[in-house]
Amino acid sequence: MTEFAKHSQLKLLVKLFRYVIPYWSKYLLIILLQFIQGTIHALPIILLSRLPLFIGTGRADDYIKFCMLMLLPAFLFRYVIFESLLNTLNWYIGLKLSLKFRQVLYRHLESLSLSFYQTRPVGEHIYRANVDIDSFIPLFNNPLSGFPMLISSIYQTILMAYLISIAGPEILFYLALILIPIYSLVHVLYSTVRRLDYKKRARAQELTATLRDSIAGIRVIKAFDRVKFTVRRYFRALAQYLKSTQAAYLMQLLVADLVRTSPVHIIWPLSLPFFAYLALKGKIPIISWFGIIIFSRQMLYFLDLTFSFFQKLRLYTVPVQRYFETLDIQPEIIEPGDAKKLADLRGELEFNAVDFAYQPGFPILKNISFKLEPGKKLAIIGASGAGKSTIANLALRLYDPNNGKIKIDQENLRQINMRSVLAQTGVILQDTFLFGGTIRDNIRYANPNATDEEVIQAARDAGIHNDISELPGGYDMDAAEGANLSGGQKQRIAIARALIKKPRLLFLDEATSSLDTVTEDAIIKTLRQNFQKITTIIISHRINLITDADEIIVLDKGEIVERGKHDDLIQNKKLYYQFYRQQIDFET
Ligand code: ADP
């Protein structure tokens, strides 16, 4: 669980309000409307406070006529025009901002390095990108508790304070004496609410993570008969969430808010006899007394709105803080501004004395060197965990090496615009990930501009066209229902996906190892036919896939222990030969 860390709230708010700048003209209009609204709102009580002046004067009709003349048009305008205009503006700003915050976070998440995703659960990002953003949007557009309300409540507080000061300035002094300690206490209480709210969000995020894991891993859960255990784990997470929500709720509503609203609900009624005493003793005239009662109630009400905005602002900064925590994480892989585009990739790949560790102190690759000429095939073989896939990860610049250089077309990878390389690179992995959408979309994924004909041609070349045609819906079948596809079929879709890109550089990472030998042989044939002239790195522990490679590297615990062609390595009778024997023995 991420711990609550104290951040400068002011800095957070400055960062946040930068997003608001494009809407300045709409906010200006909101402020103007709020002013008009506030004045109209204050009108009845101003009129009411004048009532005693008319008592016993015989001018009651005049007073009523005057009131109606003022109030009717003002309130008609207020509700019909101003209110709907304000609501529309608030709605529009909220919608646009919530989109913007999501876009910025999503783009950032996609740009972060893989190492980031390996250290944080997926559910956490889902929670931050959805719930956290939704929690602080009201700050910008809620007419009752957000920033738009603030202008009007400050204005009305000042207006009422001014009216009280005309009636009896000493009343303001007495009120301040009572309010300062109460509001100081509330401020302290809200610090606890804020901490509890952070905890609540961390628990809710764990809940999302647990839910996401149990849905994604449902096959494993069922196969290992862990349903009961998973349900219990989820319920436990739920119970913890409930506990933290209760704590935050009780603290805020029953303690902090109770004290906060006490000036309106307790102090004001209790002060009435005191005001009456001042009037009866002749210290304030009766007309002022009448005004003070009304104005002080209104002032306390709007002061509470203003004060509660600033306290709630402290709560809003909790999700804001979480939002920026993610946004402030820098990608580990950064390209220089003038990174070179390799528009026409030749496909030469070179590793020069490369060392690499995922975590400091645990070296995975040691002194790896090889040079692969364009169009040639390099095979990497070794036991599981030897570091084979890590070589591919480095070549694709998913990570940077700790020492040594990696070059593509003689350019250092750190100076290259990787998008230009990836646009011409194909990757076929052991597990094929099919995205939601049709089979056609999934093949076209690698090249969104490919025509339908090109999709079909790629599928034909990958030997999967006939299988797709026989599926219900054919190319338009939803791949999310890809459970209907066998491992071999999915693998061929991955090959079609790579083919449609017409890559110059191709990585096959255990691309056939989960298949039966008949399917594997068919796929190897497809690969050989299609990828003849493409620089290919084949990572495999299956000898039959790599016998015709131009160079075979044998990796053991991150080091190259043998290299050469198949026949030479067989002659050497070392590690490669052992792999070979094991497979021959296994298959016969
Ligand atoms: P191979 O492809 O030869 O099976 P890998 O290159 O996948 O091996 O992994 C080599 C070693 O690096 C293994 O010990 C593995 O546990 C470790 N490893 C792989 N990926 C990561 C990672 N993201 N973080 C930390 N260690 C990793």
Structure letter (DSSP) for residue 415: G
Q: Which atom of ligand 1 is nearest to the CA of 383?
A: 3
Lowest mean pLDDT among 2-11, 222-231, 360-369: 2-11
The reply to whether 447 and 568 lie within a common domain is no
- Residue position matching structure tokens 């999302």: 208
- Residue position matching structure tokens 């001042």: 278
pLDDT tens profile 90-124: 999 999 999 999 999 999 988 887 777 766 777 77
- For residue 23, what pLDDT is reported? 92
Q: Tell me, yes or no, whether 316 lies in a domain.
A: yes
Q: Tell me, yes or no, whether 1 lies in a domain.
A: no
Q: Tell me, yes or no, whether 252 lies in a domain.
A: yes
- Tell me the two tokens of residue 145: 């508790």
- Residue position matching structure tokens 């030997």: 463
Beta-strand relationship, 535-539 and 377-382: parallel
The reply to whether 127 and 91 lie within a common domain is yes
Does the structure show a pLDDT above 50 at 472? yes
- Distance (angstroms) between ligand 1 centre and the Cα of 386 equals 8
Could you give the CA distance from residue 546 to residue 224 in angstroms, rounded to a whole number?
Answer: 35
Q: Is 82 near ligand 1, meaning CB less than 6 Å away?
A: no
Last residue of a domain, one of 327, 351, 366: 327
CB 464 within 8 A of CB 493: yes
The reply to whether 158 and 255 lie within a common domain is yes
- For residue 359, what pLDDT is reported? 86
Tell me which H or E stretch contains 556: strand 551-556
Q: Tell me, yes or no, whether 439 lies in a domain.
A: yes
Burial level of 483, CB count in 10 A (0-12/13-18/19+)?
exposed
The reply to whether 144 and 76 lie within a common domain is yes
Burial level of 509, CB count in 10 A (0-12/13-18/19+)?
buried
The reply to whether 314 and 385 lie within a common domain is no
Nearest CA to ligand 1 atom 10: 387
The reply to whether 124 and 183 lie within a common domain is yes
pLDDT tens profile 126-182: 788 888 899 999 999 887 778 878 888 898 899 999 988 988 888 899 899 999 999
The reply to whether 358 and 488 lie within a common domain is no
The reply to whether 348 and 230 lie within a common domain is no
Nearest CA to ligand 1 atom 27: 358
The percentage of residues in the chain with a pLDDT greater than 90, rounded to a whole number, is 37
Last residue of a domain, one of 293, 327, 361: 327
Tell me which H or E stretch contains 562: strand 559-564
- For residue 292, what pLDDT is reported? 86
The count of domains in the chain is 3
- For residue 5, what pLDDT is reported? 54
Question: What CATH code is carried by the domain that includes residue 498?
Answer: 3.40.50.300
The reply to whether 475 and 524 lie within a common domain is no
- Distance (angstroms) between ligand 1 centre and the Cα of 366 equals 13
Q: Which atom of ligand 1 is nearest to the CA of 539?
A: 2
- For residue 365, what pLDDT is reported? 96
Q: Tell me, yes or no, whether 572 lies in a domain.
A: yes
Residue from 112, 332, 333, 358 whose mutation best tests the ligand 1 pocket (most atoms within 8 A of CB): 358
Q: pLDDT band at residue 1, thresholds of 50, 70 and 90?
A: very low
Nearest CA to ligand 1 atom 5: 387
Q: pLDDT band at residue 371, thresholds of 50, 70 and 90?
A: very high
Q: Tell me, yes or no, whether 238 lies in a domain.
A: yes
The reply to whether 467 and 572 lie within a common domain is no
Look up the pTM and report it: 0.71
Q: Is 385 near ligand 1, meaning CB less than 6 Å away?
A: yes
- For residue 521, what pLDDT is reported? 77
For all residues of the chain together, what is the average pLDDT? 87
- Tell me the two tokens of residue 328: 């402030």
Residue from 368, 390, 402, 430 whose mutation best tests the ligand 1 pocket (most atoms within 8 A of CB): 390
The reply to whether 454 and 305 lie within a common domain is no
Q: pLDDT band at residue 245, thresholds of 50, 70 and 90?
A: very high
- For residue 546, what pLDDT is reported? 86
Does the structure show a pLDDT above 70 at 528? yes
> What mean pLDDT is predicted for residues 488-493?
85
- Distance (angstroms) between ligand 1 centre and the Cα of 369 equals 19
Q: Is 513 near ligand 1, meaning CB less than 6 Å away?
A: no
Q: Which residue range forms the structural domain that includes residue 411?
A: 336-424+504-588
Beta-strand relationship, 349-357 and 403-408: antiparallel
The reply to whether 18 and 81 lie within a common domain is yes
- For residue 560, what pLDDT is reported? 95
The percentage of residues in the chain with a pLDDT greater than 70, rounded to a whole number, is 96
pLDDT tens profile 493-507: 888 888 888 899 999
pLDDT tens profile 401-415: 999 999 999 999 999
Last residue of a domain, one of 502, 520, 542: 502
- For residue 7, what pLDDT is reported? 59
Question: What CATH code is carried by the domain that includes residue 156?
Answer: 1.20.1560.10
Does the structure show a pLDDT above 50 at 555? yes
- For residue 411, what pLDDT is reported? 95
Does the structure show a pLDDT above 90 at 291? no
